[in-house]
Structure 1
Amino acid sequence: DDATWILTSAFIIFTMQSGFGLLESGMATRRNEVNIMMKNAIDVIFGGLLYWAFGYGISFGTSKGSNGFTGWGSFFLDPDDDTMGTEFSKFTFQASFATTATTIVSGAMAERTKLHAYIIFCLTNTLVYSFPAHWVWADNGWLKQLHVVDVAGVGPVHLVGGVTALIAAVMLKPRYGRFDSKQQLKSSSPVNSLLGLFILWWGWLGFNCGSTFGISGGKWKLAAKAAATTIMASCGGGITSFIISYLFHNKKVNVRIITNGILGSLVSITGICAVTYCWSAIIIGSIGAIVEASGEALLVKLKIDDPVGATSVHFFCSIWGLLCCGLFARFDNIQMFSAYTGLFLGGGFELLGIQCLAIASIIGWSAIISYINLKLLDFVIGLRVDVEDELLGADVSEH
């Protein structure tokens, strides 16, 4: 692995925290902007600490006791001089993934969650990500042994984050006044949301290209392909989102529809970015935008309040993204990201079955652990702020 490439990619991924902060604060109401930005800082501060102490070892520890379900060892990571370059570069890269999985959830919990409860949630939620990361990417992970395809974390990052976001949104119930009319509560700054999108777009290239773990020994070909397919998927998703907005929003360009549609297309391509074609990436991204818009409409119909659309972007689109790996993946003889060929490219149903198993197992794990985690927090200290504080706004009541 190329440590320089991995570290550079990790630094790029780290900027996604800024993107999420701007996106979420721009979509939320004006009285909660500071609180949302602070929660994104909390994701890194507390989530990063727990990932260093325990999460990395659970994901990639190779000591005695490591098995298909969990890693063991490398807790409180401090490797010796011989291995510190490899270990610390990998840790920094993976820590940026782990904190992103929690940041996804913060958007669904926005405007009605106690700050101290959220801090404790960050500490525990990092570990929810760590187990699926082991299953998918560790050499002895049980899904890795089955040759699951997930280049850049559509399962461990986006599906885990999306499931947890859905559980949190249901448990917290809607914001006060959210469904009194058919309109969203007024966003504070669509401009900030678009700025957040651009930063996330940039970060996603580091996310997907960095997951090739180098540019030497032929890996540069996979990195270049990941960049091209990521861009093409977002182009397909963006165009589709414009059409959706025009058809279903009085022939106007709706910022939320465009922004979340592009993000949905980026989630959709994440798992397969290095092992598919550009034409299939456009299809994947276009359908991803449709999946995102349909998911958001379903949540509104069910009166599940997700202020920024985290569930529709990350939950629904990550399921589609994992399925795409079973449909459009090419065989890869460089990094062995894919040991099979997807169904639509002449392969059989075996890879699609493995991808479905990954979807079911990650959803099951994330839903059960997240529910227990959030329920305990709600019972012990309470998750939701009082109505008075909610109407006043967290920027005043918490800061």
Structure 2
Amino acid sequence: MRKKALRLGLSIAGASAVAIAAPTAALAEDVDPIAAIDSVKATLDNVWILIAAVLVIFMQAGFALVEAGLTRGKNVANIFMKNLMDFCVGALLFFAVGYAIAFGGKFTGAGKYIGGDGWFLAGDGIFSYGTLDKFVFFTFQVAFAATAATIVSGAMAERTKFKSYVIYSALISAVIYPVVVRWQWGGGWLFQLDTPFHDFAGSAIVHMTGGVAAAMGAYFLGPRKGKYGPDGKPRAIPGHSIPFAILGCFILLVGWYGFNPGSWLGADPVIGKIALNTTLAAAAGAVVAMLVTWLKDGKPDVAMTGNGLLAGLVGVTAGCWVVNGLGAVIIGAVAGILVVYSVLFWDRVKIDDPVGAVSVHGVCGAFGTIAVGLFSATEADGVVAKGLFYGGGADQLVSQLIGVVSIAAFVAITTAILFFAMKKTVGLRVSEQEEIEGLDVHEHGVPGYVNDDMVLR
């Protein structure tokens, strides 16, 4: 009986295979193998960039943990709420307005400065790239917009009105950041220089933009209560969870493998080189920052080592495609030194930045962008030239300086106007009592940490 059933099963399977194979063979004769390969490549490109976008979006969790860990427990819910709104509010405004300004059709100056088509992703002027679906490209770009916005949160921590922060977050995602994107990634005037300004994944466009805005926010807010003693010298205000901060650094490191390799906008072998340079710069930044604090203070500083890791990542982001491995190590190492002494500098000039955002993103973002003009080992016509240290002359270096100064000036002026206007109208800073008691309860009506021993009667 079993043998008959087996023969019957084999007969049915064989007939099915013939039925399926016949039309498949006929179709195979009509399929262009080149077109089939291109179709598979396009699918892989879209899947990879969507994965990269998810990695970059998950970086918001890293930023939240770093900021929460380096500040006090009475403000932790407020910090997570701000980071959540950076993505949510930013996504809506970038969809409605920001993407059109950054990548839409021509609007002013023949499209050199600002786009003006594709509001709400509608119209024929919506930009995409290569084989990427425009919605996949948008998702990747909105993740970057949220990153630029959330950098500011750390520098303004523990004393900012939530409603004022949301207004800032909306405007940087809708207008300020998209204009900067337009200038280079959107084919604007920086890209049209004789030797184009090169910022592959956003050391200046994303990180320096956030860092400069952070400096303006911290300046207009003023320092936290107790940050400076009667003699005017800065005092340390310890964060409530160093493990939170270091876990956040690890999450950011993982996310950066979407940030940098994803910026190639395709699933090609070159993303391996980009990942390598990202790894080397991060490692060099962390090790050097650790050694500097060890030599300076007698003990390796845990939080500063984490910031050294981030400084190396920020520094190499502009040139991760065009530098070689040694260049990435040097860029990361220099960033690891810069971040330590930059934090001390801002403290001394009374810019109170609880997490070092201005130093990590602003200072190291500017340095990393300029470093392309020194360490670029790649020449691609109409994209990037070799750097000064690789026989390319000063052309690329000059373009990098023009880009850094222009972006920094634009962001500083626009965010200064924004923060000044809010300070004079809706207010920027919470009251002294609210700051002392914590923003979790006063801004959101709930403590970040609940006393489990409390008895309800």
> Given that residues 78 and 443 in structure 2 are in contact (C-alpha distance below 8 angstroms), is that contact kept between their aligned partners in structure 1?
yes
Residue identity in the other structure for 1:169 = A
SS at match of 2:119: coil
3-state secondary structure, aligned to 1:15: helix
Residues 292 and 312 of structure 1 are in contact (CA less than 8 Å); yes or no, is this contact kept in structure 2?
yes
Whole-Å Cα distance in 2 between the matches of residues 248 and 49 of structure 1? 46
The residue aligned with 1:387 is: 432
Q: Are 2:176 and 1:128 aligned? A: yes
AA partner of residue 107 (structure 1): G
TM-score, length-normalised on structure 2? 0.83
Q: Which residue of 1 aligns with 2:49?
A: 6
Amino acid aligned to 1:160? T
2:63 paired residue number: 20
1:184 aligned residue: 236
Q: Distance in 1 between matches of 2:93 and 2:416?
A: 20
Query: How far 1:331 sits from its partner (Å)?
Result: 2.5
Deviations 1:295-315 (A, max 9, x none): 101011112100110001011
Map of 1:34 onto structure 2? 77
Partner of 1:168: 217
Structure 2 CA distance for aligned equivalents of residues 263 and 374 of structure 1:
27
On the 8 A contact 1:153/1:271 being kept in 2, the answer is yes
Instruction: State the 1:5 CA deviation.
Output: 1.8
Q: With the length of structure 1 as denominator, give the TM-score of the two structures.
A: 0.94
Distance in 1 between residues matched to 2:277 and 2:213, nearest whole Å: 28
* 1:67 CA drift (Å): 1.0
Q: What's the counterpart of residue 329 of structure 2? A: 282
Structure 1 partner of 2:114: 70
**Counterpart in 1 of 2:144?**
97
The amino acid that maps onto 1:71 is G
**Is 1:205 matched with 2:249?**
no
* Stretch of structure 1 that moved more, 34-43 or 60-69: 60-69
2:206 equivalent in structure 1? 157
Corresponding residue for residue 12 of structure 2: none
Question: 1:370: which partner in 2?
Answer: 415
Structure 2 letter corresponding to 1:308: V
Aligned to 2:97: 54
Q: Residue deviations 1:171-215, cap 9 Å, x none?
A: 100000012265421211000000000000001111000000002
Match of 2:281 among 226, 233, 239: 233
Give the distance between the partners of 1:245 and 1:337, measured in 2 at CA: 42
Q: For residue 247 of structure 1, report the CA deviation from its aligned partner.
A: 1.1
Match of 2:185 among 128, 137, 145: 137
CA distance in 2, matches of 1:78, 1:254: 50
- Compute the displacement of 1:272 (Å): 0.2
Q: 1:220 offset after TM fit, Å? A: 2.2
- What residue identity is the alignment partner of 2:443? E
**C-alpha contact (below 8 Å) 1:150/1:337 kept by paired residues:** no
Q: In structure 1, what residue type is equivalent to 2:236?
A: Q
Please list the CA deviations of residues 261-283 of structure 1 after superposition, one character each: whole Å capped at 9, or x if unmatched: 11111110000001111111000
| Structure 2: stretches of 5+ with no match in the other structure | 1-41, 445-457
| Structure-2 separation of matches of 1:63 and 1:287 | 40
Mean alpha-carbon deviation: is it higher for 96-105 or for 71-80?
71-80
Cα shift readout 1:38-60 (whole Å, capped 9, x = no counterpart): 10001011111111000000000
Distance 1:52 1:337 in 2: 30
Whether contact under 8 Å (1:331, 1:338) holds in the other structure is no
Whole-angstrom distance in 2 between the partners of 1:339 and 1:169: 35
Cα deviation 1:118-163 (Å, max 9, x = unaligned):
1111111112111110111123x11111211111011110111010
> Could you list the per-position Cα deviations for residues 245-266 of structure 1 after superposition, in whole angstroms to 9, with x for gaps in the alignment?
21122x2221221011111111
Comparing 316-325 and 2-11, the one that deviates more: 2-11
Q: Secondary structure at the match of 2:264?
A: coil
Cross-structure match for 1:297: 344
CA contact (8 A) 1:241 1:261 kept: yes
Task: Compute the RMSD of aligned alpha carbons.
Answer: 1.7
User: For 1:168 and 1:367, how far apart are their aligned partners in 2?
Assistant: 10
User: Once structures 1 and 2 are overlaid, which stretch shifts more, 82-91 or 384-393?
Assistant: 82-91
What displacement does 1:285 show? 0.2
What is the total number of aligned residue pairs between the two structures? 390
Change (3 A) 1:245 1:130: same
Over 3 Å off, 4+ runs: 63-66, 82-85
State the Cα deviation string for residues 224-249 of structure 1 (Å, max 9, x = none). Answer: 11100000011111110111121122
Whether the 8 Å CA contact 1:330–1:338 is kept in 2: the answer is no
Shift of 1:337: 8.2
Q: Higher Cα Rg: structure 1 or 2? A: 2
The 1:277/1:117 distance shift into structure 2, 3 A limit, reads same
